[in-house]
C-alpha cells in the first residue's frame, strides 16, 4: 500500500479480513493519526504584540539587545518570555558538545521539541541538560547555568507542567500519608498570582490525503468518531479542516455537565437536533455514560460524526494507552508513527499513513468479504443432496457415512 516508504500493509491476524468489508463506525485519534505529529513553532502573542513567522527577526534583535544590557520594556518582556519557553520543558540534547551547531533533541512530546527549536532559532540555545542542571547559550556565546530544583510533570488533570522550589515540594513528596494530595496542594498554592508572559502557537499539519480519505469514508456511510485530548476550539477546527464535519453541517456542542440532572437536560436538548455533528468533552462523556449510557449511545450513533475533546488518557489514544482500545474493538488498525509502536504491534492491521485506510477498507477487505461470500456459496452448492445420493449409489459397497454427510450439508445450509 505504501510504495513511497517501501513499507507495506502488515496483517497481524488472518481470521477477520472479511469483517473489514462492512464497517459501520470508525474511531480515530487526532495527533499522529490525522496529523503528521511534526510540531512547528508559528506564533508568539505577548501582551498586545503578535509575532508571526515573518516577524521572528524582531524577536531575535530584542534578545540580542537584552543580553547586551540595552534594557527596554519590550525587550525585557520578550527576554523573560523566551527564557520561560527555553526552561520549561523536558527536552534533552542528544549531543552535549558545546561546539556542535546542528543539534538534535529528544523529548516525550514533539510540542516541547518545537519550542526548543524556536528558542534556538532566535538565539537562546539549549546545549546541555542533566538531572540537576540546564545550560543555555546566549547570542553572545555566554553559557547560562540553571539548577533544576524540581519539575512538576504534566498530568491529564492539571494539563500543564512547571518548575518549582525544592523544600516545600520535597516535604510533601516524602510524606507517607496522603502524598499525592499534599503534592497537589503545594503545586496549586505555588501556581497562583503568576504573571502571564506570553502565549505560543504550535502548528501540526494534517497528513497527506486526509481530507479525501475522510470524505470517501463518510460517503460510504461510515460514521467517524474523533477522540483527542485537545481543547474544544482546536478539536472543532481540526474536524472542519479535515472534512470530518462538512462546512454546511450543523455542530451541536454538548455543554459541560457535572451530574445526572444536567446531563438529562442536555440530552433532551440534543434529542431535538437532527443530522448534526456532536462535540463533547471527556468529562461530560463520562457523566453521560455513568447516568444515561443507553440514551447517550443511541443518540450519538445517529450522528454523522462525533468529536470527543479533552479526553483523559483512558478515553483516547495516547501513546501506548490505546492498546486496550484497539484490542477491545472489533478490528484494530494501528499506525506506525513517531512515538511508540505498541499500538501497531497490538493491532490486527498496521499501516503507516491514515490515507491507506481507504484502500484497506474499500479494496482489500471488500474483496475479502466478497470472496468469503463466494466461498460460502460454493460450499453450499457442492453439498447438493442429489450429488450425495448419486455418490452413495455409486460406492454403496464401501459403506460411506451418508448420515454424516447429510448433517454437514444441512449445517452449511442453515449457518
**Which one from 29, 204, 318, 365 is the annotated catalytic residue?**
29
Task: Tell me the three-class secondary structure of the chain, residue by residue.
Answer: CECCCCECCEECCCCCHHHHHCCCEEEEECCCCCEEEEEEEEEEEECCEEECHHHHHHHHHHHHHHHCCCCCHHHHHHHHHHHHHHHCCCCEECCCCCCCCCCCEECCCHHHHHHHHHHHHCCCEEEEECCCEEEEECCCCCEEEEECCEEECCCCCCCCCEEECCHHHHHHHCCCCCHHHHHHHHHHHHCCCCCCCCEEEEEEEECCCHHHHHHHHHHCCCEEEEECCCCHHHHHHHHHHCCCCCCCCCEEECCCCCCHHHHHHHHHHHHCCCCCEEEEEHHHHHHHHHHCHHHHHHHHCCCCEEEEECCCCCCCCCHHHHHHHHHHCCCCEEECCCCCCHHHHHCCEEECCCCHHHHHHHHHHHHHHHHHHHHHHHHHHHCCHHHHHHHHHHCHHHCCCHHHHHHHHHHHHHC
Q: Is 29 a catalytic residue?
A: yes
Residues forming the active site: 29
Amino acid at each position: 500500500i505504501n510504495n513511497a516508504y517501501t513499507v507495506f500493509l502488515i496483517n497481524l491476524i488472518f481470521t477477520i479480513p472479511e469483517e473489514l468489508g462492512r464497517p459501520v463506525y470508525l474511531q480515530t485519534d487526532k495527533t499522529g493519526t490525522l496529523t503528521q505529529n511534526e510540531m512547528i513553532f508559528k506564533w508568539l502573542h505577548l501582551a498586545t504584540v503578535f509575532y508571526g513567522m515573518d516577524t521572528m527577526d524582531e524577536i531575535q534583535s530584542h534578545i540580542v539587545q537584552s543580553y547586551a544590557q540595552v534594557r527596554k520594556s519590550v525587550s525585557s518582556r520578550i527576554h523573560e518570555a523566551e527564557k520561560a519557553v527555553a526552561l520549561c520543558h523536558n527536552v534533552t540534547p542528544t549531543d552535549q558538545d558545546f561546539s556542535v551547531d546542528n543539534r538534535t533533541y529528544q523529548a516525550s512530546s514533539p510540542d516541547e521539541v518545537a519550542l526548543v527549536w524556536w528558542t534556538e532559532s532566535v538565539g537562546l540555545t539549549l546545549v546541555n541538560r542533566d538531572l540537576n542542571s540546564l545550560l543555555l547559550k546566549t547570542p553572545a556565546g555566554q553559557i547560562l547555568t540553571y539548577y533544576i530544583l524540581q519539575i512538576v510533570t504534566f498530568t491529564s488533570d492539571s494539563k500543564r507542567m512547571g518548575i518549582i522550589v525544592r523544600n516545600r515540594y520535597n516535604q510533601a513528596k516524602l510524606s507517607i500519608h496522603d502524598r499525592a494530595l499534599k503534592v497537589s496542594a503545594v503545586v496549586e498554592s505555588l501556581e497562583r498570582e503568576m504573571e502571564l508572559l506570553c502565549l505560543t502557537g504550535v502548528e501540526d499539519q494534517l497528513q497527506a490525503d486526509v481530507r479525501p480519505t475522510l470524505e470517501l469514508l463518510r460517503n460510504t456511510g461510515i460514521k467517524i468518531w474523533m477522540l483527542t485530548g485537545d481543547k474544544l476550539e482546536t478539536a472543532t477546527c481540526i474536524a472542519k479542516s479535515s472534512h470530518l464535519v462538512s462546512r454546511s453541517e450543523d455542530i451541536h456542542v454538548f455543554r459541560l455537565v457535572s451530574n445526572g440532572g444536567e446531563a438529562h437536560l442536555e440530552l433532551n436538548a440534543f434529542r431535538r437536533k437532527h443530522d448534526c455533528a456532536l462535540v463533547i468533552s471527556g468529562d461530560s462523556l463520562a457523566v453521560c455514560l455513568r447516568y444515561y449510557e443507553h440514551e447517550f449511545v443511541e443518540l450519538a450513533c445517529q450522528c454523522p460524526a462525533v468529536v470527543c475533546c479533552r479526553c483523559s488518557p483512558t478515553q483516547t489514544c495516547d501513546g501506548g494507552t490505546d492498546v486496550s482500545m484497539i484490542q477491545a474493538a472489533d478490528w484494530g488498525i494501528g499506525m506506525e508513527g513517531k512515538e511508540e509502536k505498541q499500538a501497531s504491534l497490538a493491532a490486527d492491521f498496521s499501516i503507516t499513513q491514515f490515507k491507506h485506510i481507504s484502500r484497506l477498507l474499500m479494496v482489500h477487505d471488500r474483496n475479502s468479504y466478497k470472496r468469503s461470500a463466494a466461498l460460502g456459496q460454493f460450499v453450499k452448492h457442492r453439498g447438493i443432496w442429489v450429488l450425495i445420493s448419486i455418490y452413495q449409489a455409486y460406492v454403496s459397497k464401501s459403506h460411506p457415512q451418508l448420515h454424516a454427510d447429510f448433517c454437514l450439508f444441512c449445517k452449511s445450509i442453515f449457518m
